[in-house]
Amino acid sequence: MSDTRISPEQYQKLSQIVYKESGIVLNEKKYNLLVARLAKRMRKTRIPNVSAYIKRIASDEKEFGEFIDATTTNHTYFFRENKHCEFLLRTLKPEKPLKIWSAASSSGEEPFSIAVQFLDQNFEFSILASDVSDSMLNLGRQAVYPVERVKEVPKPMLHTYFQKGKNSRAGYVRMKPFVRERVTFAKHNLLSDEPKEMYDIIFCRNVMIYFDAPTRQKVVTTLLRALHPGGYLFVGLSESLHGLDHNVTPVVPSGYRKK
């Protein structure tokens, strides 16, 4: 049985590792979360104590990735904070193809939520869905979700864009192929990777609440370099760009347009 007791020094060490890799700040309030996620990895790897696990992730790149995955994954669902998408559909006209970036896309619910609504209004578009977590990206590529994740999706859209699972897949839905082909999943670290293209719309929601102010500034600066003038940036409804240097103006709560 693994001993998951963490000393203050070990907690600081693990928190620094997570911060350096992902920008996420694990303060004292996150202690129980870290212990629970760590215990799961230690059981899986059969490592007996925290000291041995810290040594393992220092020398094992695959397990290091698994640890970062475990400590940075968050719950999401379809049509979460959908007012941003509704604003875009009211504001934009389906005249020119759009390039959209869903940064910190987790397991794909956000980019696929955007895709089905833009398809429904006959927009031409492509979406890059990026995340630091390999396991979340793989789930996004599979595009299979428990039915409780789609309870906010209107029934007509469910029939048009989702396949209902049968037999062993009962209780699950999958995005139809013509939706999946609009979304490309790729690994991207918001702290260390530079965007390779320019975008008309960028979503980076419900991740910056975990960052400190210098990290938020760095991420926002990088995102805005990849946004076309006149393009839109959306952060989570519990987030804002208050106190940061930027060249955007607010258009809706937590939504901004580049000058």
Q: What percent of the chain has pLDDT over 70?
A: 98
Domain assignment present for residue 201? The answer is: yes
Do residues 41 and 119 share a domain? no
Do residues 53 and 181 share a domain? no
* Beta-strand relationship, 255-258 and 248-252: antiparallel
Do residues 89 and 67 share a domain? no
CA-only gyration radius of the chain, Å: 19
Do residues 26 and 106 share a domain? no
Domain assignment present for residue 1? The answer is: no
* Beta-strand relationship, 172-175 and 144-146: antiparallel
Q: What pLDDT does residue 2 have?
A: 64
The Cα 230–Cα 99 span in angstroms is 13
Q: Residue 84's closest CA among 207, 231, 258, 255?
A: 255
Domains: count for the chain: 2
Do residues 51 and 114 share a domain? no
Mean pLDDT of the chain: 93
Does an H or E element contain 53, and which?
helix 50-59
Mean pLDDT score, 125-136 = 93
Do residues 115 and 167 share a domain? yes
**pTM (predicted TM-score):** 0.82
Q: What pLDDT does residue 73 have?
A: 66
Q: What pLDDT does residue 1 have?
A: 59
If pLDDT is split at 50, 70 and 90, which confidence band does 168 have? confident
Q: Is it the case that residue 126 has pLDDT exceeding 90?
A: yes
Q: Mind listing the pLDDT tens digit for each residue in 193-213?
A: 999 999 999 999 998 888 999
Q: Is it the case that residue 145 has pLDDT exceeding 80?
A: yes
* Cβ contacts of 107-110, under 8 Å, gap ≥ 24: 107/76, 107/136, 107/139, 107/140, 107/145, 108/136, 108/139, 108/140, 108/141, 108/143, 108/183, 108/185, 109/76, 109/77, 109/78, 109/80, 109/145, 109/149, 110/76, 110/80, 110/203, 110/205
Question: What CATH number is attached to the domain comprising 42?
Answer: 1.10.155.10
Q: Mind listing the pLDDT tens digit for each residue in 222-241?
A: 999 999 999 999 999 989 99
Domain hosting 114: range is 83-258
If pLDDT is split at 50, 70 and 90, which confidence band does 122 have? very high
Domain end (from 48, 72, 96)? 72
Q: What pLDDT does residue 65 have?
A: 86
Do residues 91 and 206 share a domain? yes
Domain end (from 52, 72, 92)? 72
Note whether 133 and 186 are within 8 A (CB).
no
